[in-house]
DNA sequence: ATGGCTGCAAACGTTTTGCACTTTT
DNA sequence: AAAAGTGCAAAACGTTTGCAGCCAT
């Protein structure tokens, strides 16, 4: 597991300054480990911590964090992107609760099962996506 | 494999009228079987066939076609949706070429491998996505 | 004091909508 | 004749950008 200090350090190491807004965004992400949250949610929660924060600032920082490999961006539903702190170093996939947004890591990657298929086809894979959507044990009772 | 007539019939059966625009959109999708294309591409190609077609008409029809299970919608890249005719009845996954948009079916579904994991967690899965992106044999040489 | 960082407002690209008109049935 | 479908223009949506001023270093 990665600590909050590590995150701030990684930013510093890469020449980024420590601003109040940036720290607040990082805190929000840190408090939502294992949960995909939207830019809007991040913006709102960041505002609670430090009320002069702007959408541009949020997006600009999310872009930096993604570039540094600190967060992971995906499109769960049409059009909207969601973000999550990367707290595990290994490649992995997710189970995602459509109600509360909670994610869990699946300890299985289907890629190795199809590598030979891709080789046969002469297909050069660059990325793959495996995600399971549904309702977690907590949420499935009250759907 | 599904024929073009079957598609028109399915629309009729569900109470949708056969208009020139709708037929042109359907034709474009039919000519691009096994290829994800964007709404913009569909719009342009539809215009070639029948030049009074509008973006609203394209989007409205794509929505209907998706609801009827005739096409499949995904987000390959940020923000833009791509569409593909569903021409196989069985559940399956895709290999997608990022250059030409060509898709191929992967004869493997990872879901069964993780069912027991989900059961253990008490997670109720409703959907899953497994997609492999990269470059097909034709495109990989000229990237 | 320099550079990066921010807030603001305006622009962006994709998609959706309201409404008057047209077409299919 | 009725219902559904269309085109148009305008709006909505999430996201990005240019710029002037601000703040961390």
Q: How does pLDDT run across A72-84, given as a tens digit for each residue?
A: 998 876 678 999 9
**Residues of A with Cβ-Cβ distance to B91 under 8 angstroms:** none
Tens-place pLDDT, residues B1-42: 678 888 899 999 999 999 999 999 999 999 998 889 999 999
* Distance of alpha carbon A85 from alpha carbon A76, whole angstroms: 15
Contacts of A105 in chain B (CB under 8 A): none
Q: Is B90's pLDDT higher than 80?
A: no
pLDDT of residue B143: 54
Task: For residue A123, give the 3-state DSSP assignment.
Answer: coil
* Segments in A14-67 forming alpha helices (H): 20-31, 39-49, 55-67
Q: How far is A5 from chain B (nearest CA, A)?
A: 31
For residue B137, what are its two tokens? 């044999």
**Residue B63 sits at the chain A interface (C-beta within 8 Å):** no
- CB contact at 8 A, B120 and A95: no
- Find the range with the poorest average confidence among A21-25, A92-96, A115-119, B10-14: A92-96
Closest in B73, B117, B122 to A107, CB measured: B117
Strand C lies under 7 A from the Cβ of residue B44: no
Q: Is A104 on the interface with B (CB under 8 A)?
A: yes
DSSP 8-state secondary structure symbol assigned to residue A61? H
Question: How many CB atoms lie under 10 A from the CB of residue B48?
Answer: 10
Q: Would you say the C-beta of A5 is within 7 Å of strand D?
A: no
- Residue A142: CB partners within 8 Å, gap ≥ 6? none
pLDDT for residue A143: 55
Q: What is residue B103's predicted lDDT score, i.e. its pLDDT?
A: 86
Q: How far is B84 from chain A (nearest CA, A)?
A: 16
Is the pTM higher than 0.85? The answer reads no
pLDDT the model gives residue A17: 96
pLDDT of residue B50: 83
Residue B5, both tokens = 């007539």
For B63-73, the pLDDT digits (tens) are: 999 999 999 99
Residues of B in contact with A133 (CB under 8 A): 125-129
Task: Tell me the pLDDT tens digit for each residue of B97-125.
Answer: 887 888 888 989 999 999 999 999 999 99
Which of B75, B122, B133 is facing A78, going by the closest CB pair? Answer: B75
Where does residue A64 rank: exposed (0-12), middle (13-18), buried (19+ CB within 10 A)? middle
pLDDT at site B76? 74
Nearest to B97 by CA among A122, A16, A77: A122
Mean pLDDT on A117-141: 89
């Amino acid at each position: 597991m990665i600590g909050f200090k590590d995150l701030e350090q990684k930013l510093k190491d890469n020449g980024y300054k420590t601003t109040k807004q940036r720290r607040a965004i990082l805190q929000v992400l840190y408090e939502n480990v294992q949960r995909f949250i939207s830019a809007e949610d991040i913006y709102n929660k960041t505002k609670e911590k430090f009320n002069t924060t702007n959408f541009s600032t949020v997006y600009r920082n999310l872009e930096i964090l993604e570039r540094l490999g600190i967060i992971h961006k995906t499109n769960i539903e049409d059009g909207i992107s969601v973000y999550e702190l990367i707290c595990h170093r290994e490649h992995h996939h997710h189970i995602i609760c459509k109600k509360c947004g909670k994610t869990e890591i699946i300890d299985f990657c289907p890629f190795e099962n199809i590598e030979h298929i891709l080789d046969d086809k002469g297909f050069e894979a660059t990325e793959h996506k495996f995600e399971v959507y549904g309702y977690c044990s907590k949420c499935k009772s009250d759907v």
